[in-house]
A and B are shown apart, each in its own frame.
Chain A
Amino acid sequence: MEQGTVLEMRGICKYFPGVRALEQVDFTLREGEIHALMGENGAGKSTLIKVLTGVYPKDGGVILLSGTDGPVHIKSPQDAQNAGIATVYQEITLCPNLTVAENMYIGRTKGPVTNWRKMISDAGRLLDELGIPAHPKQQLGNCSIAVQQMVAIARAVDMECKVLILDEPTSSLDEQEVQKLFKLMRDLKAKGVGIIFVTHFLEQVYEVCDRITVLRDGQLVGEYIIEDLPRVQLVSKMLGKDFDDMADIKSDSDTENIDYESTPVYEAMGLTGTTGIKPFDFEIHKGEVNGFTGLLGSGRSESVRAIFGADRVTRGVVRIDGKPVKIRKPLDAMKHGISYLPEDRKLDGIVGDLSVRDNIILALQVMKGFFKPFSRAQAEQFADEYIKLLNIKTASSDTPIKSLSGGNQQKVILARWLLANPVYLILDEPTRGIDVGTKVEIQKLVLKLASEGKSVTFISSEIDEMIRTCSRLIVMRDGKVVGELKGKDLNQNKIMATIAGGES
């Protein structure tokens, strides 16, 4: 091992039944650097992290750590902790029923007895130091998600680790919290900690990282110093092809074809529900693509859920094609031709153990009714049609959806809602957590649907995507609609300013 290296992984292999998740991957982390681990979904980033943290046993290769002679064997997360490898995962891996202090110290104190007083005072000091707004005695479950995430980081920071792994820690944080996190990361870097940073956000990589390692299809593409690798090249390395597809998509002049004077396809007035959004008015016209934007927690998802009746709607008048209707539950919305692709694919979208076919026909089947099941042949026909149409990569329509990759799962859910033949399609974060190639496909599909006369609401955390696809943007802040942008106003600066608020 070279001087200054904290971690070296050489020739790591990992196989799952029928899949090679990692093939001869090398990875080197130096003292005091922030090292981005990049790749599409299914490239092997998470697998590599899980091998390193002992969640999965490796099938080949060696792991070397500074300060230890010879290869280390990490068999469990406990081993990893002991070896000085701390991890913060995307999902919060803390116990909601324990106090903040306990969550920071459990599983790593010595001796059989818990010293509550010391633990609470230590935790209090650390929380203050890092500026985390939580009290050590507070039950973690009562804190906001962002605070919980930061408590997890505080725990990792306190472990005197040599290697800190941050696996998509920013996806549930707002911009300010992200900045706080970056400051924390830079502080740690100054102390000589090696940080592995996994993220989907390119901007963040270029903001804090020193080096990038790119994986593709379970294999190493290469390791680069950040200055040597412009964004476009990074994307092309991740995709493994020259990349100019992004430029192809443009909303162009489509917007002019929309007749804003016509009766809206969907119109809501004073709509509000139990999820903390203020009453809002909203309308969408035939062939229009609009978007809801705002920071996480601004109410953009809650608004579209209210439109679909996914959460309890308490007030508001809804008109479809000018006729007043009542939408109280998802089925009502579906019967009126509204489809909704939920934000959380795993939790709200897929039905894991069911086959791709059942997942595709589900919505249409429910609309058809409990007593009128589709024949097997018909279901198969629908499934095959959409598998071909959306180019879903699956062994057969009988395969359980959970064994597909994230992007393909998303396409199945899309297929489900396209099959329901909606007049108004709501897509909440359809591009989150999926590979760049599929992202582009989905954006193209949205524009195609609009040109066919369907109305689409498109939500994405990536403003670029919204600008490319939407003709009108509704901006939200703190559960309230604060602005509506279209035409010339649809640019990054204007959107940012509206989100941030104020008179700028």
Chain B
Amino acid sequence: MSANTEVLNVKKLKGRTFLTDTNLLLIITVLVFFSMYTSAVQFLGSGFTKPQMFFNILNENASLLVLSCGMTLVMITGGIDISVGQVTCLVCMASAVFMNDNSITGAMPEGQAVVVSMLIALGIGLAFGIVQGLLVAYLEFQPFIVTLAGMFFAKGMTTIICSDRVNIDNEINHAFYKLSTTEVSVPFIGSYNKLGEFIPAFVEVGVVVALIVVALLFVLLRWTKLGRNFYAVGGNNQSANMLGINVKLTKFLAHVLCGLCAGIGGYLFFLHARSGSPLHATGAEMNAIASSIIGGTMLSGGVGNIIGTLFGVLSLSTIKNIVTSLGLEDPWWTNITVAIMLCIFLLVQSVILARKNRKKK
């Protein structure tokens, strides 16, 4: 009898039943972002109506976007990586010190030094990803502790390389300076200046790279076997093992990809800041985790989406801008805002989860 009623139920299935957790949280995020941005336009006006304002958010946060994407991957497998911020810092410092070392870069053709510095950045990211991945996946240790150690290791290494701020010498690094200041105009979007001329909005090279990473990872998560395995492992890793998925390898790869993202994100930060400093990217891991969570990635694993993360980054940056334009310019307000956002979204997730569980019972 119960089976019959269930057959009927299947026929009656409506949209809500098909809504997976991932999509539900994605919808919430997108709604939050749009309502936030429209209310900013509505009530704070001026700045927010200009398209360039929006693209500046991207320019400022290209690095964070890549870091958050990497974080999302790891969080989908049920882990976390809190080393990304300090790895970014280390990448900046290493690249800056390398680029400024005229004895090495001076001997290279213009562009070559840039390429080598990129390789250094990717290498550092990859190295962190591999070591942390090995410790988490194959030695079965808590990702939080492992990456906490990674975070402190990167922090220490940065100051061992150089304990002061290193500004890139633009004189000897023309190619890098050019790359860093290249503006890519956005087609069809822009604003008219006082003379009535159309000024297209622009983004930096970093944004293009970041969006490519977003696209690649979206495809990875949606359509590849590896991507789906990430979800399976995060959903229930014992089951995933029984289903014939190599859980250890999957977790390992998630950390490697996250490390790689930290390398790319670190280089984008460097490209934007054109300097290295032990204070760079302080708290970036918090911003990345917050963006992922706001973007609908569940801490418990198995639920999340790269597009959501994109909106998470945008939401977080928008609210920071709103707070600043409300006149709360003291530096601590940004941190407190991020913390409050994180808190609210964690509570929302927890309430949704609790409601679902109750319904099932």
Chain A interfacial positions (CB closer than 8 Å to B): 76-78, 81, 87, 89, 92-99, 102-103, 106-109, 111-114, 116, 131, 133-135, 137-139, 141-142, 144, 147, 155, 174, 176-177, 180, 274-276
Decide if A180 touches B223 in the complex (CB within 8 Å). no
Indicate if B169 sits at the interface (CB-CB under 8 A): no
Q: Is the CB of A97 within 8 A of B241?
A: no
Report yes or no: A107 in contact with B243, Cβ–Cβ below 8 A.
Answer: yes
Q: When the two chains form their complex, are residues B3 and A114 in contact, meaning their CB atoms are under 8 A apart?
A: no
- Bound form: Cα–Cα A133–B13 in Å: 11
Residues of chain B in range 1-20 having any CB-CB distance to chain A below 8 Å: 1-3, 6-7, 9-10, 13, 17-20
Residues of A contacting B194 in the complex (Cβ-Cβ under 8 angstroms): none
Q: What are 24 of the A-B contact pairs (CB < 8 Å)?
A: A78-B244, A93-B239, A95-B240, A97-B21, A97-B22, A97-B231, A97-B303, A98-B231, A98-B232, A99-B20, A102-B228, A102-B232, A106-B232, A107-B229, A112-B224, A112-B226, A114-B227, A133-B6, A141-B360, A155-B243, A176-B2, A177-B3, A180-B3, A275-B361
Find out whether the CB atom of A133 lies under 8 angstroms from the CB atom of B246.
no
Choose one: A81, A95, A142, A176; the contact of B232 (CB below 8 Å). Answer: A95
Specify which chain B residues have a CB less than 8 angstroms from the CB of A107 in the assembled complex: 229, 232, 240, 243-245
Report how far A78 CA is from B248 CA in the complex, Å: 13
Contact A93 B243 (CB under 8 A): yes
Complex contact A139–B20 (CB within 8 A): yes
- The residue that A93 contacts in the complex, of B9, B222, B242, B303, with Cβ under 8 A, is B242
Q: Taking the complex as formed, is B308 at the interface, i.e. its CB lies under 8 A from any CB of chain A? A: no
Cβ-defined contact, B244 with A92, below 8 A:
no
Known contacts A112-B225, A114-B224; A95/B18 CB under 8 A: no
Least Cβ distance of B140 to chain A in Å? Answer: 16
- Taking the closest CB of chain A, its distance from the CB of B227, in whole angstroms, is 8
Top 7 A-B pairs, shortest CB-CB distance: A95-B235, A97-B302, A107-B244, A133-B6, A97-B235, A93-B242, A107-B243
Q: Which residues in A have their C-beta under 8 angstroms from that of B9?
A: 133
**B236 adjacent to chain A (CB < 8 Å):** yes
Q: Is the interface of B mostly helix, strand, loop or mixed?
A: helix
Query: What are the residues of chain B within 8 A of A114 when measuring CB–CB?
Result: 222-225, 227-228
Interface centre among B7, B236, B303, B356 (most CB of A within 10 A): B236
B16 to A, closest residue via Cβ: A142
Query: Given A92-B239, A97-B303, A137-B18, do A174 and B244 touch, yes or no (CB 8 Å)?
Result: no
Which of chain B's residues have a CB closer than 8 A to the CB of A133?
3, 6-7, 9-10
By the criterion CB–CB under 8 Å, are A108 and B239 in contact? no
* Interface set of B (CB-CB < 8 Å, partner A): 1-3, 6-7, 9-10, 13, 17-22, 222-229, 231-232, 234-236, 238-246, 302-303, 356, 358, 360-361
CB pair B236 A87 closer than 8 Å: no
CA distance A116 to B221 in the complex (A): 13
Q: Given contacts A81-B244, A135-B18, are A144 and B6 in contact (CB under 8 A)?
A: yes
Please state if B3 and A113 are interface contacts (CB–CB under 8 Å).
no
Residues of A within 8 A of B244 (CB): 77-78, 81, 107-108
Query: Which residues on the A side are within 8 Å of B228 (C-beta)?
Result: 98, 102, 106, 114
- Contacting pair A97 B20 (CB below 8 A): yes
Is the pair A138, B13 in contact by a Cβ cutoff of 8 Å? yes
Chain A residues whose CB sits within 8 angstroms of the CB of B361 once the complex forms: 275-276
- Is the beta-carbon distance between B229 and A106 smaller than 8 angstroms? yes
Report B354 CB to chain A, min CB distance, Å: 12
Closest beta carbon of chain A to B249's beta carbon, Å:
11
Chain A min CB distance to B144 (Å): 21
Q: A94-B239, A106-B245 are in contact. Are A135 and B10 (CB under 8 A)?
A: yes
Q: A93-B238, A112-B225 are in contact. Are A106 and B243 (CB under 8 A)?
A: yes
Q: State the CA gap A502–B235 with chains docked (Å).
A: 42
Chain B residues in 8 Å Cβ range of A174: 2
Flag if A109 contacts B225 (CB, 8 Å): yes
A102 to B221, CA, bound (A): 13
- Smallest CB gap from B240: residue in A: A95
Most buried by A among B3, B6, B7, B243: B243
Closest chain A residue to B23 by CB distance? A139
User: How distant is the Cα of A139 from the Cα of B240 in the complex, in angstroms?
Assistant: 16
Residues of B within 8 A of A96 (CB): 235-236, 302
CA distance A77 to B302 in the complex (A): 21
> What A residues does B229 contact at CB under 8 A?
106-107
A-B contacts besides A107-B232, A116-B223, A138-B17, 9 pairs, CB < 8 Å: A81-B244, A93-B239, A93-B242, A95-B302, A97-B234, A97-B302, A99-B20, A102-B228, A139-B19
